[in-house]
Structure 1
């Protein structure tokens, strides 16, 4: 390799715009660039497998981003190189290894992490598309699009947080939107300086940026903070003379009130944020097809829920301003219905802005049906599936899996190796939701790390017999999400459900047991919860 300095920054254009692979870790804009002695060259093959095709850019931490090809699997990859390797690259490599263990459709896949002392590099999924930072460069996004992106990022964070890890690097440069519309989050870091709460608040920053084109400085205290440098040169947020952040609705017209309140709640350090899975469920509830017109692009959120309807998960989580916002919308909707006031703005010919008479009991309903609230689903029946056992003596305590107490659960026997002593293909838990439901996610809490398991859906309810258990194993073939292999956490989250399909029967199948501290192998399933509507 030549010993010259790094190559000039080139770009690839497809369809008239830049194709990139994320912005990397956040770095102070005044930080010196990383020295790149012995920089790579086009055509070089790393680790006898990854051919470098073209230098794309340098990320904000000074690392080189290349488009490459995996010559073994013949697929495009992104190669992120750092000089030097060794101890200085430890955090980057550790973050890549941790990220590779979480498989989720909204996370960039990490394939390899290699340290060669003089340099280190991470090989990850190539994304043809653009970052959120680039997408918003021309103009802010409409509320529906911003909500969809926020929902995707929150879902990715829920998967990361379920393992006990933190992403720690959520900003407009690490959110990628592929050419086919897929939203992916890239470049996690594990330096221990962040928290899951900050990850969640960063989603508020993304929503604010997507809606306004300005960055609200979520990395610094918001109340009373003074304007400073935004991340990666993004325009500073608008503030008043006291430094208070302007709400999205004060910056641009057409932002729904509820989305405005939700965004500001996430950025307000005086309000405890929800967990990432609750935020994911709430944003997914709002992320509906445009033809359903749940979100109005030119005015406040259309309120379609009845006064007695179950509150959304986020409101239940204690968002003060969100609850106030919902109550305000209820009041406006009720007053407008009874005394015929006009809603905010709009054309006089718009039927939604004209006075509305009180409806008669015989008039057909004009409002859209209420959106179904997402929350915990009741599990009507649960049983242990043990298709390869003749004794069937490990079936007790199945009811403890759904009793809401994570300190109690069902446990396998102790086996001499992690494959059930080579006696069984596996054991599992069968669930009956009582009726078909739209399911958003399933979370399984285990007693130990190191288990291998997967989640399946089916349509049959065989008897609780040896032959019935074998039938479950045959019939339940629809896998939900990605399986976990020797999982390094005690929580497994599955959210790959089809939104257009309803589910009643689910099957959690464990094929490998973790080791016990005192010898042997066994696993406890402490709790299973199902979120849906």
Structure 2
């Protein structure tokens, strides 16, 4: 069980820590957090305890270092920054306290293992590695949407709970990293999950030197010139597209995509292992026979993707339309059954059979849900939330308080996918920061009346997707907590608190996109 601050245990040769300010079992910090069991120390000199919040009666992890003061500034600043972002793939941060002789951060307790521990038994299968990469990318997209950087992404801070939830812990704020280096680190996480080796993305893993002590992680396999061996060269069974994606993220000469674009691509690839899509499907490539000489980058090696993930997505959409039209005899509704375009790279020129993959789902209808309004004058414009134009959207009236001035419990946007679908994620683009909202799901439609809306909200609140966003500092909310074994048709984006705007409080929903199959 790992609850380490930076995910790295102290090496056996680590010096003894000071005893002044050392915690003891049974001690209660800040009159609230009881220390129960010392779990481990990390290589940065921090102690990790299992504790209990005696007020809320819930388990917590307490990451403590002593002395506090200046030496704990980075730890506390990172915790404060992380506490502002609520996402199902981020470890929740509850408190950060500096008592001078010691400082500590109180965060969510996660029963499970770090990715570093999980891979001790051997590399992961490609499907599971993709799922973990998707969760990390989604977490980073939420962090980056606020303008912040995580700066500490590696196998020790990626944690997998006993119930399968993947969470990212322990952000840093030392200013040494960028959003781009965060995204490149996802390539390192994928590489490690697929091979059991760390490729040392831009810098060695913090707190671990290859080959030394219990914190060590094996260095990546390299050739005589120091070039990194691709995952497919290290082990069999890694799909070519996942190998390409991983190596592109690690290539300093290829500018990585933004974290939200990468999250969308990994969500498209993150399909249930028993569906076996990973053997045949993947990012589509430029394969048109133009008669021109191949680019130097393509000729130099096996990886031909120099256009970035954003370009891949654009080509993928075109390929999807062509493939669907061909397979379905010109059906003009391509988004209802996305398929991968045939590959022209099969031996002998034979096309690889098309396979269904996760992708954007069509929203067939939307309407505004407003159960507490008598005038119902805010119902127009719901069609603008799925018109592929983020400059246009639906917005609330202006209220005198963020909670709708106690006039209503909330209001939201209901969407209909037209049929039962497997949903991977939902992204909502908003007009402003500071909103609080959640995503709900239901099985029944109701009449567009106050009574119908009230019945709909009552039913849908029984099925929340992921965790709610509270005063979200970004303009994008991404919900990933869908049950892979369940299909969904009706979803409700439910707004409970409005951001300030123009002397009052209001919010616009600019665009809602759904990924699934």
TM-score range, shorter chain: 0.7 to 0.9
Match of 1:41, SS state, is coil
Q: Indicate conservation of the 8 Å contact 1:272/1:319, yes or no.
A: no
Q: Indicate conservation of the 8 Å contact 2:257/2:308, yes or no.
A: no
Query: What residue is the counterpart of 2:443 in the other structure?
Result: 459
2:388 is aligned with 1:388:
no
Q: CA deviation at 1:122?
A: 0.8
Q: CA deviation at 1:32?
A: 8.7
Name the structure, 1 or 2, with higher relative contact order (CA <8 Å, separation 6+).
2
Q: Deviations over 1:322-365 (max 9, x none)?
A: 99xx9999345363859xxxxxxxxxxxxxxxxxxxxxxxxxxx
Match of 1:72, SS state, is coil
Q: Deviations over 1:186-234 (max 9, x none)?
A: 111233332332222111101212222221111249xxxxxx9699532
Distance 1:429 1:220, change over 3 A: same
Moved more, 258-267 or 97-106: 97-106
Query: What residue is the counterpart of 1:246 in the other structure?
Result: 229
Query: What is the CA RMSD across the aligned residues, in angstroms?
Result: 3.8
Question: Which aligned pairs between 1:254-333 and structure 2 lie closer than 5 A?
Answer: 254-295=237-278, 301-302=279-280, 317-318=310-311, 330-333=343-346
2:382 is aligned with 1:406:
no
Structure 1 residue aligned with 2:2, among 20, 23, 33? 20
Q: Deviations over 1:102-152 (max 9, x none)?
A: 344433232222221221101122333332223334543343443333233
2:89 is aligned with 1:110:
no
Query: What residue is the counterpart of 1:192 in the other structure?
Result: 175
2:401 is aligned with 1:417:
yes
Distance 1:275 1:32, change over 3 A: farther
Q: Distance in 1 between matches of 2:496 and 2:283?
A: 43
Moved more, 286-295 or 92-101: 286-295
Match of 1:454, SS state, is strand
Q: Indicate conservation of the 8 Å contact 1:414/1:520, yes or no.
A: yes
Question: Which aligned pairs between 1:405-484 and structure 2 lie closer than 5 A?
Answer: 405-477=389-461, 478-484=463-469
Query: What residue is the counterpart of 1:501 in the other structure?
Result: 486
Query: What residue is the counterpart of 1:86 in the other structure?
Result: 69
Moved more, 74-83 or 458-467: 458-467
Q: Indicate conservation of the 8 Å contact 1:208/1:216, yes or no.
A: yes
Q: Distance in 1 between matches of 2:175 and 2:262?
A: 23
Distance 1:529 1:220, change over 3 A: same
Q: Size of the alignment, in residue pairs?
A: 468
Q: Distance in 1 between matches of 2:372 and 2:34?
A: 47
Structure 2 residue aligned with 1:515, among 490, 497, 500? 500
Q: CA deviation at 1:170?
A: 0.6
Q: TM-score, normalised by structure 1?
A: 0.76
Q: Deviations over 1:260-314 (max 9, x none)?
A: 112111111222323334433443444444443445xxxxx34599999xxxxx9
Give unmatched runs, 5+ long, in structure 2. Answer: 287-306, 320-339
Q: Indicate conservation of the 8 Å contact 1:401/1:525, yes or no.
A: yes
Distance 1:122 1:302, change over 3 A: same
Moved more, 19-28 or 209-218: 19-28
Q: Distance in 2 between matches of 1:471 and 1:128?
A: 37
Q: Distance in 2 between matches of 1:256 and 1:525?
A: 38
Q: Indicate conservation of the 8 Å contact 2:89/2:139, yes or no.
A: yes
Distance 1:135 1:462, change over 3 A: closer
Q: TM-score, normalised by structure 2?
A: 0.78
Q: Distance in 2 between matches of 1:524 and 1:67?
A: 42
Q: Indicate conservation of the 8 Å contact 1:114/1:121, yes or no.
A: yes
Query: What residue is the counterpart of 2:139 in the other structure?
Result: 156
Question: Which aligned pairs between 1:216-231 and structure 2 lie closer than 5 A?
Answer: 216-220=199-203
Q: CA deviation at 1:370?
A: 1.6
Q: Distance in 2 between matches of 1:421 and 1:179?
A: 42
Distance 1:122 1:426, change over 3 A: same
Q: Distance in 2 between matches of 1:329 and 1:213?
A: 32
Q: Distance in 2 between matches of 1:433 and 1:267?
A: 37
Q: Distance in 2 between matches of 1:523 and 1:303?
A: 39
* Structure having the higher Rg: 1
Q: Distance in 2 between matches of 1:328 and 1:460?
A: 35
Distance 1:211 1:187, change over 3 A: same
Query: What residue is the counterpart of 1:3 in the other structure?
Result: none
Q: Distance in 1 between matches of 2:478 and 2:455?
A: 25
